[in-house]
Chain A
Amino acid sequence: MPAKTILAVLLMAIVTYLPRVLPMAIFKNKIQSRFLTAFLSYVPFAVLGAMIFPDILYSTGHLTSAIIGLAVAAGLAYLERGLLQVAVCAIIAVYICELIIG
């Protein structure tokens, strides 16, 4: 596993670095296309949405505990709590729920 994992990590590092460096090194002009600008600005939100759901439902031992974790995380996120607080509270909610379900 380590060799395969390290290769995957290096590939990730390369495709993370290239988008950062290429425009800075090559392009001197701003993007004119309004469509492309908007498209690129929406990428984080679409990616986050697609990564969260429905995968979150299968991230714990039971569907019930996952739904409760989702509800707790969504509620705290709506109140704009920090990332760590949202994550820790969701973990605790899932943990308690899993203890009850057994």
Chain B
Amino acid sequence: MEINKGNFIDTRKNSIHDFFDGSRQSLPIALGYFPVSFTFGLMAVNGGIPVWIVILISMTNLTSAGQFAGTNLIIAGAGYVEITVTTFVINIRYMLMSLSLSQKIAQGVSNAKRWIMSFGITDETFTVAAMQKKDITFAFMLGLEILPYMGWALGTAAGAVVCTLLPETLQNSMGIALYAMFIALVIPAAKKSKAALAVSACAIFISSLLRWIPVFSVISGGWRIIIATLIACTLGAKFFPMEDVVNAG
């Protein structure tokens, strides 16, 4: 009994320590998320989505590219299948991260805890978690994910509210914001990796063909992204099978 009690207190102390260790490491992520989700909030409200739904999107999705694309399609009036498939294709990369993290999880973490902590896997939290020298505990992941989650939600709320206060002429110029943000994500990655450059150039080429060649005009925006992605990634994987750019995002 005595020993069991001692172990229990020890475990609890370790949990608290792990939680704060995770939180400390995630502070830069949370700060970095704020301006990104702020821009998302601006963009989505500008597109005509009610403020509370925009915040709901960030709180239920917690992802950049996937929710931007999905929201874009909602604004464009796309169908459910298109929205769902596009968002899913963009998020397929999380399978890799989740799979990789599953190898690092400490022994004895229950399934329920696995289901909770995988909600907060993003490109950034994954990178930090994957670089830990020790095994990852539930408390550590929780600490790692909670601040970025709050940063993401609060940034969205701030951007959404600010948007409603801006003059209309300025709002009209903000259609470019989302694309500018995508450019800011892809160009630094393309500078560092020849494969990333080739794959995104290929996707741009295919996307342009599908957009401008009259025969393909029946293909809507969402499917255009899916088709371009599948072809560009297949070619990329064929010609650059060794690249290690998983964490570049």
Do A and B assemble together? yes
The residue on B at minimum CB distance from A78 is: B187
Given A16-B66, A21-B114, check contact A44 B183 (CB 8 Å).
Answer: no
Contact among B56, B99, B200 for A46, CB-based, below 8 A:
B200
Please indicate the chain A residues that have their CB under 8 angstroms from the CB of B150 in the complex: none
The reply to whether B180 and A19 form a contact with Cβ atoms under 8 Å apart is no
Please measure, in the bound complex, the distance between the C-alpha atom of A38 and the C-alpha atom of B124, giving whole angstroms: 19
Please measure, in the bound complex, the distance between the C-alpha atom of A9 and the C-alpha atom of B22, giving whole angstroms: 29
User: Is B27 part of the binding interface, using a Cβ–Cβ cutoff of 8 Å?
Assistant: no
User: Is B243 part of the binding interface, using a Cβ–Cβ cutoff of 8 Å?
Assistant: yes
The residue on A at minimum CB distance from B221 is: A55
The reply to whether B173 and A94 form a contact with Cβ atoms under 8 Å apart is yes
Please indicate the chain B residues that have their CB under 8 angstroms from the CB of A65 in the complex: 173
User: Is B225 part of the binding interface, using a Cβ–Cβ cutoff of 8 Å?
Assistant: yes
The reply to whether A69 and B176 form a contact with Cβ atoms under 8 Å apart is yes
Please measure, in the bound complex, the distance between the C-alpha atom of A42 and the C-alpha atom of B60, giving whole angstroms: 25
Please indicate the chain B residues that have their CB under 8 angstroms from the CB of A5 in the complex: 49-50, 53, 74
Of the four ranges (under 10, 10 to 19, 20 to 34, 35 or more), the interface on chain B belongs to 35 or more
The reply to whether B90 and A12 form a contact with Cβ atoms under 8 Å apart is no
User: Is A100 part of the binding interface, using a Cβ–Cβ cutoff of 8 Å?
Assistant: no
Count of chain A residues with a beta carbon within 8 Å of a chain B beta carbon = 77
Contact among B49, B83, B95, B183 for A86, CB-based, below 8 A:
B183
The reply to whether B93 and A60 form a contact with Cβ atoms under 8 Å apart is no
Please measure, in the bound complex, the distance between the C-alpha atom of A38 and the C-alpha atom of B36, giving whole angstroms: 27
| B window 36-86: CB within 8 A of A | 36, 38-39, 49-50, 53, 56-57, 60-63, 65-70, 72, 74, 80, 83-84
The reply to whether A40 and B92 form a contact with Cβ atoms under 8 Å apart is yes
| A window 1-54: CB within 8 A of B | 2, 5-13, 15-25, 27-28, 30-31, 34-54
Given A6-B53, A84-B35, A98-B172, check contact A24 B232 (CB 8 Å).
Answer: no
The reply to whether B70 and A95 form a contact with Cβ atoms under 8 Å apart is no
Please indicate the chain B residues that have their CB under 8 angstroms from the CB of A11 in the complex: 80, 83-84, 87
The reply to whether A13 and B61 form a contact with Cβ atoms under 8 Å apart is yes
- A residues within 8 Å of B by Cβ? 2, 5-13, 15-25, 27-28, 30-31, 34-56, 59-61, 65-66, 69-70, 72-74, 76-78, 80-84, 86-92, 94-95, 98-99
A to B CB contacts below 8 Å, 27 in the list: A11-B84, A12-B60, A13-B60, A13-B61, A16-B87, A16-B91, A20-B121, A21-B118, A38-B236, A38-B240, A38-B243, A40-B93, A40-B246, A43-B233, A44-B123, A45-B189, A47-B65, A47-B225, A51-B182, A55-B179, A60-B172, A61-B172, A70-B179, A77-B183, A83-B39, A83-B184, A94-B173
> What 4 A-B pairs have minimum CB-CB distances, sorted nearest first?
A49-B200, A84-B35, A49-B203, A90-B180
15 new A-B pairs (CB below 8 Å) besides A41-B96, A94-B176? Answer: A6-B56, A11-B83, A12-B66, A20-B97, A23-B95, A34-B242, A35-B238, A40-B96, A42-B237, A43-B90, A43-B233, A49-B203, A83-B36, A91-B174, A92-B173
